[in-house]
Structure 1
Amino acid sequence: MTPLLITVGTALVYLASFETLALSQEAETIYSRCLVCMVLFTVTRLAVTLRNSGRLFVRLSEAHARAEAMADELRRGEARFRAIFDRAPIGIQIADMEGYLVDANKAAERMLGYDPGELQGRHWTEVTHPDNVAEEDRLDELLLARDIEQYEIEERQIRKDGSLIWTQQTVTEVWDQDGQAQFGIALVEDVTEHKAMIQELQEREASFRLLFADNPHPMWVYDIATLSFCEVNDTAVRLYGYSREEFLAMRITDIRPAQWIPDMMRGVAMHRVQSSTCSHTQHRLKDGSVIDVEVATHSLHFAGRDAVLVLAQNITERKNFENQLKHQALHDPLTGLPNRTLLNDRLEQVILAARRNATSLALLLMDLDGFKDVNDTFGHHHGDLLLEQVGLRLCRVLQASDTVARLGGDEFAIILPATDEVGSTQAVRRIIASFKEQFVVESRSLHVDASVGIALYPSHGDDASTLLRRADVAMYVAKRAGDDRRYAVYTAEQDLHTPEKLALIGELRQAIEEEHLFLQYQPKVDLRTGATSHVEALVRWRHARRGMIPPDQFVCLAEETGMIKSLTLCVLGQALQQCQRWGRAGFNISVAVNLSARNLRDPQLPSLVMDLLQHHDVPATSLGIEITESTLMGDPAQAMLVLTELHDMGVRIAIDDFGTGYSSLAYLRRLPVDEIKIDRSFVMEMASDENDATIVQSVIDLGHNLDLQVVAEGVENQASLEMLATCGCDQVQGYYLARPMAAADLEGWLALDRVAATA
């Protein structure tokens, strides 16, 4: 009896001191089960033995009840432990001292792709990459020797399907109260994605370093808080002239001209809300020179700091070239003065300023009297030099704030900002007085006068086109007056002096609509063969009362009034219809039609031409388009688009009056041009003027070098014809060969030409 009581007592003591054991929950669970079993067994035996002893039975029954309650509590604790164990977000693997897994939670099973319970009984080396086993063995030895309490290791584990994952493990041992290791616990986290991310970042950093260091453009990184340079590549060192050490001791403001620093600071501020920017700015080099740069920036973290990566491209040469092109597009190539486009822009700006400040302004339109005589007497070369001097004299007489522009030919325009009628008339008198001094051109004293029209804002108009039109009216009033004053200020009554012009406009519109205009054709003769395969169509107007009206009197009216499109389509239609008739009659003749600047600004022109070609069943190669240099330079970009589309259709493109418009040769080379026509002013005098002969030869050589056909206009005598043949000109056109003629007359001329060719 006594041994049994001692055993029971011992069991109860152990149970009572259970909480003092320094065991893990798993160990506690196992240990508790053993104790409960021992107590229950002992109590049962004792109850059988002492069932006849009432008092002892009661005591044992009470002990049995307490043991049952304790067992229930242990089972509930075990259930809580299992719930926590299985729901843990990271993997938990428990191995015995032989290294076999005795338990693993659901996270560990999912991580390695095993079904519930499949990991139990497997040795830890089965799920560990062989390359990591030796290191983990070494750390386990240190753990068992209690040299370390736990260790962390990053290693690869093998999933059930054979694939590998990277894991981060924290491993420790569970010891009993006697200091004996019971089992090992590993907390396992899948770091495969994190590992891949780190590798990608490392690769990106390596690529960044490569792109940064070897980039052909200057690059640097600056701290967005201090604006100091953090890193700079070799290209920047070479271009800017600073050493790397000098750069890293500087701030980005040190390479910016003062006027660009506010823009730079706005760009820095943008990086707080926008990761990338692109802009144009200027930088100062170490030697003090300034370059134009395009800058692309991107926000990033660099060495633990918020920073900005900068790539700079030196565009100084490109910027200079763009400025040259812009200057060419907006300035007259002969005088260097603003052209019509720039004048319109400045006039609109000055009008806005005058409207804002409630001030007035004056627009002057000036035409040279006697200039045509200079051209006809001394040639275009002297006329050009005279125009240059006129531009210089106007700029000398007027103030720097005034705008002097050349509109074309001998016509100039002047904007006088913040000027009233009194101030404008005073300025005009200074201009007219300055013309009393003769112009000296190549040792020749030349005299021209000026007629000036004045229009005022806001009295005479509140927009640019109205002021230009009314200044033009006033200029013609001054021209017709013929007095010494030589200028006129616009008044509403002046428009009453042009009823003839208004009537002519109405009659022109009617003539176009009723097809009263007709064409004449002038042949172009091949100098090598003497054959004629091309003609130029020239529009004519035979007025019922006025008789024949020259094209230069009604074509400009059509342009001014917007009728030029209708006029052009009328001419194209007649020319193509006649071309079709010639084809049917056995004459293989192509026809050329002149276009105006307004035509080239019409994006619908190519499609309209195509419709007419199809309507008349004429191939595009039988149609030629002639435009003057000045027409091309009015709006070069739009002209390029329209002409390219026409050329792609098969239409031949020719530049008329070549040598008088001063178009850029670089621009000419890019144009889809097949032919250039030397202006008649050079051809007519080439037999007697060595300069003109040299110009003609140069133009022919230029055309051939550009693989273009060259046609000479204005052939008036045999001497010019022979010289052109000697110069290698391809085709000729002029009164000496044939005057413009009706279609029927041309057919007879062609028939005679055919007979002569076969004779």
Structure 2
Amino acid sequence: MRSEHVEPLERTAIDAAPDGVLMVDAQGLILKANPAMEVLSGYSRAEMEGRSVNMFMPERMRAKHADLMAGYFVQPVARPMGLVRQLQLMRNDGTMVPVDIALGHCSVAGEPAAVVFIRDMTEVRRLQDDMQYQATHDSLTGLANRWMFGQHFEQAIQRANRSDRPLALLLLDLDDFKGINDAHGHAVGDQVLMEVARRLRGALRAGDVLSRLGGDEFTVLLPELPSLTHAQQVAEKLQRLLSAPCRLQGCEVSLGASIGLACYPSDAQDTETLMRYADMAMYAAKGRGRGVWAAYEPHMSQALAEKNQLHDRLKQAMDRGGLELHYQPQVAVAGGGIVGVEALLRWHDPELGPISPERFIPVAVRSGLIQTLGDWVLDTACRQSAHWARAGTPVRISVNLSAQQFRQTDLVDRLAQLMAQHGTQPDMLELEITETEAMADPDMAREVLLRLRALGVSIALDDFGTGYSSLSYLRLLPVSRLKIDREFTRHIMSRPDDATLVRAVIALAHTLGLPVVAEGVETEGQLRFLRQHHCEVFQGWLYAKALPADEVSAMLLAELLPGEADEATPRYA
């Protein structure tokens, strides 16, 4: 049978088809090929017709295909596309093209024939490969993404089980990456991430797995290690590589990373636990300073369990009224009278006993409870201030603002609402912000503080001397007084440098027209020093520790002279 036996209508339809079409007889000879098949195969129609369809297959596959074709003609059944994967067609130039086929059957001049539709899948395969790549790789750095890393991790654990060789997981988090974005913009931040990926990739073995989990967090999987010492050496090597600055878009950017290390099987035997342990180690490294690596140690799990317990108990205490404010008197150095109090948070847990703010405040910050906690403190202080005013013992209450509170967009509105709700006199409320927080963004700090001052409250700059204030900024901040950090006050009698700093802070404050409050005063000698250098106010255990509100109320009443209880005047320096 030859192509002329094909009916004219069939020939027209075949020639117009966008896919390659072949008509093949029972012996596998090509009766008809359409123009699309010429383009797909690189053969002319004359070169194809009359030859075996096996011409499009490598030599090794021809015998198997002949058997399949013979079977088809024994019981011909139409077959749609999509049933055969990874099918390829060999072109005239020897290159292979991914294709898909559909089969139909007919008769030509009374003899059985097959109609083969052949579709070029090159573009489809490319799109599929692109989609697969995007689903498994980070779009910025080209590294394996979180999902792909998880697949590699599971496989590495299985191989380690069979080979009995250890593996290690490194979790890397860039130091102060937010600062890079803030200072130079996100475009430079993206370049930094790409540079980090390049440095890490160049330092690892071919079989190691590097991924970007998201943000500025990377992981390195070190399978089949000769020893765990090798993992430590890799951590140190990566630390050195990332500590070198890089120059991007005309600016030099300092790099650095905190690295956590966990090992299989010595630390844990499953991926989830290893990941958690590496994360603990990484946070331990961050706690030790910039550019440090740390290996997981069992006590880290215990510390995390304690933090989780503190978080849960703290949340219960907040929900059930288990917190209270105590108030530490602020006392005039010259006259000895109470001129204000500082509100300090106290927590006595029924099971854990008294828990210091140094333990639970960091937990509240990390868990996000600090904003709710800070709002509760403001609410309680405003209520207490109004109560003391109604009792005839008005006294200024100082409240510490957390960094998170200070950055809340509704802080000013919320404070105004609380003061109106409780009837709090604005001049009886003082807000304390640390010097470090104020100097983190002086322009933003000035804007927020001016809005707070407009409510009538006063502002104290807390922990002065521990940060790096610029005098040009400091004089622009609407601050009512400076507070000297207790770490300097504590040692003014034994450390000449601290004594010099305290004298300088007092002199600076007075130059700016600001009174000074010294914290942590515990001895008569410290008080004499402050009096000698004209510090206005002190607070500390020399006078009183932080006390419950009712005890402070008794102290305030005791200070009133006979006949003044009905017309008490505000007590502030």
TM-score (norm 2): 0.52
In 2, the alpha carbon distance for the partners of 1:743 and 1:426 equals 57
Which residue of 528, 550, 554 maps to 2:334? 528
Alignment equivalent of 1:488, drawn from 295, 305, 325: 295
1:705 lines up with 2:511 in the alignment: yes
1:585 aligns to 2:422 (yes or no): no
Partner letter of residue 443 of structure 2?
A
Corresponding residue for residue 129 of structure 1: none
1:564 aligns with 2:564: no
Paired letter, 1:604: D
Q: Which residue of 2 aligns with 1:686?
A: 492
1:593-608 aligned at under 5 Å gives the runs 593-608=399-414
Structure 2 residue 349 is matched with structure 1 residue 512: no
User: What's the offset of the Cα at 1:624?
Assistant: 0.6
Matched, 1:675 2:443: no
Shift of 1:751: 3.1
Counterpart position of 1:730: 536
- 8 Å contact from structure 1 (residues 453, 473) kept in 2: no
Residue 500 (str. 1) matches residue 337 (str. 2): no
Question: Which deviations, in whole Å up to 9, do the C-alpha atoms of 1:425-453 show, x marking residues without a partner?
Answer: 447547999xxxxxxxxxxxxxxxxx964
CA contact (8 A) 1:519 1:571 kept: yes
Q: What are the Cα deviations for residues 223-242 of structure 1, in whole angstroms up to 9, with x where unaligned?
A: xxxxxxxxxxxxxxxxxxxx
Aligned with 2:526 (options 696, 720, 725): 720
- 1:533 offset after TM fit, Å? 2.3
Instruction: Tell whether 2:424 aligns with 1:627.
Output: no
Query: For 2:295, what is the secondary structure of its paired residue?
Result: strand
SS in 2 for 1:715: coil
Mapping for residues 304-343 of structure 1, pairs under 5 Å? 341-343=178-180
| 1:225-244 equivalent positions in 2, closer than 5 A | none
Q: Does structure 1 residue 740 correspond to structure 2 residue 518?
A: no
- Tell me the SS of whatever aligns to 1:557: helix
The answer on whether the counterparts of 1:653 and 1:674 sit within 8 Å (CA) in structure 2 is yes
Aligned alpha-carbon RMSD (Å): 4.2
Identity of counterpart residues, as a percentage? Answer: 36
Q: Which consecutive unaligned segments of at least 5 residues does structure 2 have?
A: 1-174, 201-215, 241-256, 263-275, 565-573
Q: For the Cα contact (< 8 Å) 1:712–1:732, is it kept in 2? A: yes
Contact 1:711–1:729 (CA under 8 A) maintained in structure 2: yes
Q: Work out the CA distance in 2 between the residues paired with 1:358 and 1:687.
A: 49
Question: Secondary structure at 2:492's aligned position in 1?
Answer: coil
Shift of 1:673: 0.5
Q: Give the secondary-structure state (helix, strand or coil) at the position aligned to 2:547.
A: coil
Change (3 A) 1:514 1:429: same
Deviation track 1:303-344 (CA, whole Å, cap 9, x = no partner) reads xxxxxxxxxxxxxxxxxxxxxxxxxxxxxxxxxxx9674256
- Aligned residue type for 1:655: L
Tell me how far apart the structure 2 counterparts of residues 693 and 733 of structure 1 sit (CA, whole Å).
17
1:341/1:356 CA distance change after superposition, 3 Å = closer
TM-superposition CA deviations, 1:72-107 (whole Å, max 9, x none):
xxxxxxxxxxxxxxxxxxxxxxxxxxxxxxxxxxxx
CA contact (8 A) 1:453 1:489 kept: no
Does 1:554 find its partner at 2:360? yes
Shift of 1:546: 0.7
Judged with a 3 Å threshold, the aligned counterparts in structure 2 of structure 1 residues 553 and 618 are, in CA distance, closer, same or farther, namely same
Letter aligned with residue 407 of structure 2: R
- The 1:745/1:357 distance shift into structure 2, 3 A limit, reads closer
Q: In structure 1, what is the Cα distance between the partners aligned to 2:333 and 2:563?
A: 13
Counterpart in 1 of 2:281? 474
Shift of 1:515: 2.5
Whole-angstrom distance in 1 between the partners of 2:221 and 2:324: 48
SS of the residue aligned with 2:544? coil
Secondary structure (helix, strand or coil) at the match of 1:655 reads strand
C-alpha deviation, 1:752, in angstroms: 3.3
Deviations 1:335-392 (A, max 9, x none): xxx9674256589768845876994777xxxxxxxxxxxxxxxxxxxxxxxxxxxxxx
Taking the TM superposition and a 5 Å limit, the aligned residue runs for 1:63-78 are: none
1:640 Cα deviation after fit: 2.3
Q: Look up the SS of the partner of 2:336 in the other structure.
A: coil
Q: Distance in 2 between matches of 1:651 and 1:548?
A: 32
The yes-or-no answer on 1:641 pairing with 2:447 is yes
| Counterpart residue type for residue 342 of structure 1 | G
The residue correspondences of 1:286-435 to structure 2 (distance < 5 A) are 341-343=178-180, 352-353=190-191, 359=197, 425-426=232-233, 429=236
SS at match of 2:475: helix
User: What is the identity, as a one-letter code, of the residue corresponding to 2:419?
Assistant: L
CA distance in structure 1 between the partners assigned to 2:539 and 2:562 by the alignment: 19
Cα displacement string for residues 202-246 of structure 1 (whole angstroms, at most 9, x for unaligned residues)? xxxxxxxxxxxxxxxxxxxxxxxxxxxxxxxxxxxxxxxxxxxxx
Q: 2:465 aligns with which of 659, 669, 675?
A: 659
Q: Could you tell me the TM-score, scaled by structure 1's length? A: 0.40
**Contact preservation (8 Å) 1:528, 1:730:** yes
Residue aligned with 1:571, SS: helix
The one-letter code matched in structure 2 to 1:644 is L
Contact 1:535/1:589, CA 8 A, preserved across alignment: yes
> 1:637 and 1:558, CA in 2 relative to 1: closer, same or farther beyond 3 A?
farther
Cα gap change, 1:428 to 1:678, in 2 (>3 Å): farther
Partner SS state of residue 723, structure 1: helix
Structure 1 gaps of 5+ residues are: 1-337, 363-414, 434-450, 457-468
Change (3 A) 1:659 1:480: closer
In 1, Cα distance between equivalents of 2:278 and 2:179: 17
SS at 1:656 equivalent = strand
**Displacement after TM superposition at 1:722 (Å):** 1.0
* Number of residue pairs the alignment of both structures matches: 337
